[in-house]
Amino acid sequence: MQDKKTIVIAGGGTSGWLAAAALGKLFGKVYNVCVVESEAIGRIGVGEATIPPLRTFHRLLGIDELDLIKSIQGTYKLGIEFTNWARKGDNYFHSFGVTGKDCWACDFQHFWVSGRKKGIADDFGAYSPELMAARSGKMWAYQEHGLNFAYHLDAGLYAEYLKRHSLSHGVRWIEGIFKRVNISPETGEITSLTMENGEEVSGDLFLDCTGFSARLIDGALNTPYLPYGHYLPCDSAVAVQSEKYGEPRSYTQAIAHDFGWQWRIPLQHRTGNGLVYCSRYVSDDEAMNTLLSNLESDPIAEPKAFKYKTGRRLRGWTKNCVAVGLAAGFLEPVESTSIHLAMSAILRLMKLLPQGDLTQTAIDEYNKQFGEEMDRVRNFIILHYHATEREDSPFWRYCKNMEIPDALRHRIQLFRDTGAIPLQEKELFQVDSWTQVLIGQRVMPQSYHPIVDQMSENELNQFLGSLKVSVQQKVAQMPSHQQFIDRHCKADSM
């Protein structure tokens, strides 16, 4: 039998240990997997909100969800509340799950638009169990009639949890800092990493999980970066942890300011806070002061500030190196996609790994899928900024009037004209997500699908009414978010 090939993961953190956990568990008999990470290098540690597909990935890894939530001081997340985005004072919700009920010809928003025109429909969110549960402070999962959810997590505890999981499945951890990436002069591929103590860590495939520094994919292999800054102008962030504030909300908050937006992420033991902003429109000091003056509770740590460039690598896989996480690109956290995109990269890699030597066809397919995914998620995030009526500050005037990708412009106009949202294959955000954000940003359909008029007004009224009552009854039976945590996954006191 051939000797096992080696996959070297450069860098730990969430991306590195997520990759190690997956490769160790699922490919441990085929590959040697090792992680090169120094505990002396701090983690950014602000990716603390997730989206539902991560739960499926955890099941693939054999992770017990209740044990995970307890271990990472987690809370449940049913969506994101957006405040001040379309107009100052506006408030809308992007929830997980399915809203209403569709039919073969059209999605639920067409029935809702008809109902609004006839004066018989409630707010769009009234037909979403996840949204109404979040607004009511309720939670229900794991059993019949459960909600579709993700979670908020402590990023440091999550990385440590994944690390323990990885080591239990045979992953080797090499503690230390590497000082040099060695390249073959014949092939241009990475052959090894030289550690500060002189040790050589050789491998056949290398994963770059070194964050924004991208020491392999960029520093060693000079893979170009495709900037998104024209569309996503925010380039800075400051984050700070604060004391726990009341019972934790079952959703993330995204509160727009004159030059960016602020997040609040509730955990069992504290709150994660941050402010994403554009340095062209505000000084770092003013941004810091804005965040600190809008905390709900006292800070418990020193704020962390960092700069970034939105965008992605032109190729996520170059030679024998795959970038995962921030090394591959960054789209900013407004829709909590950072951990998901790392997970997606790992899954894509595992699906395309050849049995023998690396093939250019597999690399090309990976890069094609990588580029398409990043660009589609980028477009959804641009929507939040561009579809605004705000003209009260230079930042929002820029966002409202900036050029946007043709595909996004077409989708917005098609929804405004017809209410339709035709999706391409494998899009991350589905019809309900697009509909909730478009309506929340005051992009309202002018018409709806003609099949809705097969219903009489009385039939439509009964249809909408029964859906609303069903949601209300379902939510009324649920315990509070805090009660659900206390009953199923309360963390040990720290």
Q: What residues are labeled active site?
A: 77
C-alpha Rg value of the chain to the nearest Å:
23
Helix (H, G, I), strand (E, B) or coil at 205: strand
Single out the residue of 78, 117, 49, 75 nearest to residue 432, CA to CA: 78
d(CA 301, CA 429): 34
Single out the residue of 66, 43, 49, 133 nearest to residue 332, CA to CA: 49
Helix (H, G, I), strand (E, B) or coil at 192: strand
d(CA 330, CA 350): 22
| 188 CA to centre of own chain | 33
**Backbone angles phi and psi of 174, in degrees to 5:** -105, 110
Quickly list DSSP for 435-490.
HHHHHHTT---S---GGGGGS-HHHHHHHHHHHHHHHHHHHHTSPBHHHHHHHHTP
Q: Which two tokens stand for residue 429?
A: 């955000």
CB 104 within 8 A of CB 442: no
Q: Which two tokens stand for residue 441?
A: 């940003």
